[in-house]
Amino acid sequence: MTASIYHESSRIITEHVTELAQKVFDLQMQQNPEMMKGYTPYQKQKCLRDESHNLYYLAEALSLDSVKLWTNYLSWLKTLLVSLGVKNQQTAEHFQIMLQVLEANLPLSELPKVREMIGIAVTYFQDEDTQEYHGLDPQNPRYDQARNYQNMLLSAQKRKAADYILSMATGTQEIREIYLNILQPVQRDIGLLWHTNKISVAQEHYCTGVTQMVISLLYPKLFDAGPKDYRMISACVSGELHEIGLRMVTDIMEIDGWNTTFLGANMPDEGILETILEKKADLLAISVTFPLNLHKAESLINLIKSDALASKTKIMVGGYPFLADDSLWQKIGADAYAADASLANSVARNLIQRPA
């Protein structure tokens, strides 16, 4: 593990998260009994779960010494809570209570950093400004087509949406364009629509399911059996379910001349290691969307680097947290990081062709 100077606080929070969440909850009840009065047992349970979530994020940010990761989470949380009607002041007070609990449970030497992090949260939630949903980027060269496709998804016209994309897929370069300028931005926007409470989680899953189906229908046109110079394996770490972004990156790498194997979501470390050795992979691409999975990516990287044979395989990472903090890939021990699917090929080739 890449030890940060705040590793001890991170460890204590992670190991005692249930107990700490309960303390925050109890203190909140004590200070604001009116607020919690009408809560059902289920709502209380949900409240404790959200509490644990906040603590886990704080622990991850402390572990990686990343203020950027923390502020990125706060921004995400604020958008979500505002869309659900939770007052910012209420959340700010909640973080103050969290600090009181942590001050009583963490080592004194690490408290200044914890105070700094929670101070950022309090200030952030005292400010009433919120991120607004702006929709798809009009600068996108395929803006109209992306908007049409998204409208079809949101109006549950899966067959029409699939036919629409397939009618454009005349060759591999065209498919590359479809991935980069239609499917990728639409999926990101669908995520934002859910995040800002404009669509339900069921709609979000439906849209993702249709895009996955569309990708499968593109396969007969995507694979060309042309010569491939390098072998790549791609996987999401154990617990990571967001695989569609990585699937698109992997397919684009295939178009760009890589012989790819897509292992998918929630892969156990042993399975990934086994496949690296079996396929003699030149590159492993790891995707992390959920920041709490960063430490799992780190332990996977450590496992691969400690294996005599697998350690020759280069490791490239990508995904949401690396966009929030572009120093994270080095902190978890990866060899490179690609900001998006269009850059993955050049980043990976530079990495492999670089003299050892």
Q: Are 271 and 263 in contact (CB under 8 A)?
A: yes
Q: How far is CA 217 from CA 98, 165, 207, 248, in A?
A: 49, 10, 15, 13
* DSSP code for 180: I
| Binding footprint of other proteins, residue count (CB under 8 A) | 22
Site map (CB under 8 A) of other proteins, residues 230-259, x = contact? -----------x-x---x------------
Tokens of 123: 């200030």
* DSSP code for 234: E
Q: How far is the CB of 52 from other proteins (least distance, A)?
A: 14
Stretch that binds other proteins, among 81-89, 149-157, 223-231, 290-298 (CB under 8 A): 223-231
Q: Are 304 and 317 in contact (CB under 8 A)?
A: no
Beta carbon nearer to other proteins, 79 or 238: 238
What are the beta bridge partners of residue 336? 316
Q: Are 149 and 161 in contact (CB under 8 A)?
A: yes
Q: In this chain, which of 84, 225, 308, 356 binds other proteins, going by CB under 8 A?
A: 225
Beta carbon nearer to other proteins, 251 or 335: 251
DSSP string for residues in 224-291: ------EEEEEEEETT----HHHHHHHHHHHHTTEEEEEEEEEE-HHHHHHHHHHHT-SEEEEE--SG
Start-end of H helices in 280-340: 294-305, 320-324, 328-331
85-144 residues in contact with other proteins (CB under 8 A) are none
d(CA 77, CA 13) in angstroms, rounded, equals 19
Beta carbon nearer to other proteins, 131 or 223: 223
264-303 residues in contact with other proteins (CB under 8 A) are 264-267
Stretch that binds other proteins, among 108-116, 162-170, 215-223, 285-293 (CB under 8 A): 215-223
Beta carbon nearer to other proteins, 257 or 264: 264
Instruction: Give the residue among 123, 356, 343, 139 at the shortest CA–CA distance from 252.
Output: 343
Q: How far is the CB of 266 from other proteins (least distance, A)?
A: 4
Q: How far is the CB of 152 from other proteins (least distance, A)?
A: 23
Q: Interface with other proteins includes 262 (CB under 8 A)?
A: yes
Q: From the centroid of its chain, how far is CA 290? A: 4
Beta carbon nearer to other proteins, 40 or 167: 40
Stretch that binds other proteins, among 38-46, 61-69, 90-98, 143-151 (CB under 8 A): 38-46
Please state the φ and ψ torsions of residue 319, each to the nearest 5 degrees: 130, 175
Stretch that binds other proteins, among 15-23, 214-222, 291-299, 312-320 (CB under 8 A): 214-222
Q: Which residues contact 347 (CB under 8 A, 6 or more apart)?
A: 316, 336, 337, 338
Beta carbon nearer to other proteins, 170 or 216: 216
Tokens of 212: 């996955």
Stretch that binds other proteins, among 51-59, 78-86, 122-130, 222-230 (CB under 8 A): 222-230
Q: How far is the CB of 251 from other proteins (least distance, A)?
A: 8
Beta carbon nearer to other proteins, 37 or 134: 37
Beta carbon nearer to other proteins, 136 or 214: 214
**Chain residues that interact with other proteins, rule: CB under 8 A:** 40-42, 45, 216, 219-220, 222-225, 241, 243, 247, 260-267
